[in-house]
Amino acid sequence: MNHLYIITHTDLDGIGSAASILRILGRKRSRDATILYAEPYNIHEILESLLGYFESGDLLVVADLGLNEENKARVFELLESIVHKGVRVEWYDHHVWDPNDITKIMGLGVSIYIDRATCATGVVVRYATRSRGLEPDKFLIELEDVVCSADLWRWSNPLSPKLFRAAGSREERVEWRGKVIDKIVDGKLWDEELEAKLEEYMNQELRNIAKIIDTVYVSEFNNYRIAVALKDEGPPSNSIIGALLIARYKAHIAGIIRPNGGLSLRSRTVNVQKIALRLGGGGHMKAAGAKIKIPIIISILSRINPKILTWYTTRKIRGVLGVVKDINLEATSGY
């Protein structure tokens, strides 16, 4: 049996995508594949780390990851080398893609499936089965509903907020993601172990929210209210913080910045993908991200006063708002 490599995102949608392809291919456990987790800004590093291991006939699946302007040229170079080795490459995503990039990646011999009407797990469920002449089973259809309900901010499935939190446990996170993947491959979406993880997560989330609120900086620009919070390791997730900032501060744009410059953007009324794109990132219209460079002096001062970093981040966002046009979602449908 040729080897299966999976590169996927770190969240529940990435986990669901990996579990879906394993289940569709009849692999029984996460150990039946090499699974690596990435962000759009470092996917080229993951591909580079695997380059020497690929053999002809292997399958590489990339899921729930878009391209960043800063590294996409290198990603294209690596994919060309990988395909040249005789490796089949399949890419499943639901982020906003430049049509030229899709054409470029297809020209390299990569099978790419983009569908913004669902989450990445849904893209795998729908297209990995179809390309193999299969139909999704009832469990995969249920999995798509649970994961998409969380990832697309619908929260229409009652299991979604529970699994979203439990799967995001930070303790032994790589090992834990593998466990969650194995449960899903086995046809389980909830059990006592997940219930225990949910309780741990909720306790951490409640402790951390008060600290996060103390870092919030709110700014007004061109009739947009921007609220940015600083997030360290651990719960809550960026999506939960984003929802909190939008509700508590009536923000049009919510930003979640990490000390290393990782920035997540959330909104219900603004196309934040356009903002992220200008910052070298990408994502969805309502949920996007980028990595910004933080000056040394800002980094040092923010250790004394975290609001200095959130203030600096709002300045970066405001700078983009002064340039981008047509960012309101009023006339836009979809995610």
Q: Is residue 20 part of a domain?
A: yes
One domain, residues 266 and 174: no
One domain, residues 162 and 256: no
One domain, residues 170 and 64: yes
The C-alpha atoms of residue 64 and residue 167 are separated, in whole angstroms, by 16
How far is CA 74 from each of CA 84, 95, 105, 297, rounded to the nearest angstrom?
Answer: 15, 19, 12, 31
**What's the average pLDDT block by block, 10 residues per block, for the chain (335 residues)?**
92 96 94 93 95 97 92 96 98 94 97 96 98 97 97 91 85 84 97 95 91 96 95 88 95 96 94 92 87 95 96 97 84 42
Q: Is residue 326 part of a domain?
A: no
One domain, residues 182 and 230: no
One domain, residues 131 and 58: yes
3-state secondary structure of 19: helix
Q: What is the pLDDT of residue 330?
A: 63
Q: Is residue 200 part of a domain?
A: no
* 181 closest CA partner among 26, 2, 17: 17
One domain, residues 20 and 140: yes
Q: Mark out the alpha helices in the chain (DSSP H runs).
A: 12-25, 43-50, 72-84, 99-107, 120-123, 129-130, 138-151, 160-167, 173-185, 192-213, 238-249, 272-278, 296-304, 307-321
The C-alpha atoms of residue 279 and residue 318 are separated, in whole angstroms, by 12
Q: Is residue 177 part of a domain?
A: yes
Beta bridge partners of 254: 227, 266
Q: Is residue 329 part of a domain?
A: no
Name the domain count of the chain: 2
Three-state SS across 240-276? HHHHHHHHHHCCCEEEEECCCCEEEEECCCECHHHHH
Last residue of a domain, one of 141, 157, 190: 190
Contact call for residues 175 and 35 (beta carbons, < 8 A): no
Q: Is residue 35 part of a domain?
A: yes
One domain, residues 256 and 180: no
Q: What is the pLDDT of residue 170?
A: 59
Q: What is the pLDDT of residue 331?
A: 44
Q: What is the pLDDT of residue 334?
A: 40
CATH number at residue 80: 3.40.50
Question: In which domain, by residue range, is 261 found?
Answer: 210-321
Q: What is the pLDDT of residue 89?
A: 98
Reported pTM: 0.82
One domain, residues 142 and 181: yes
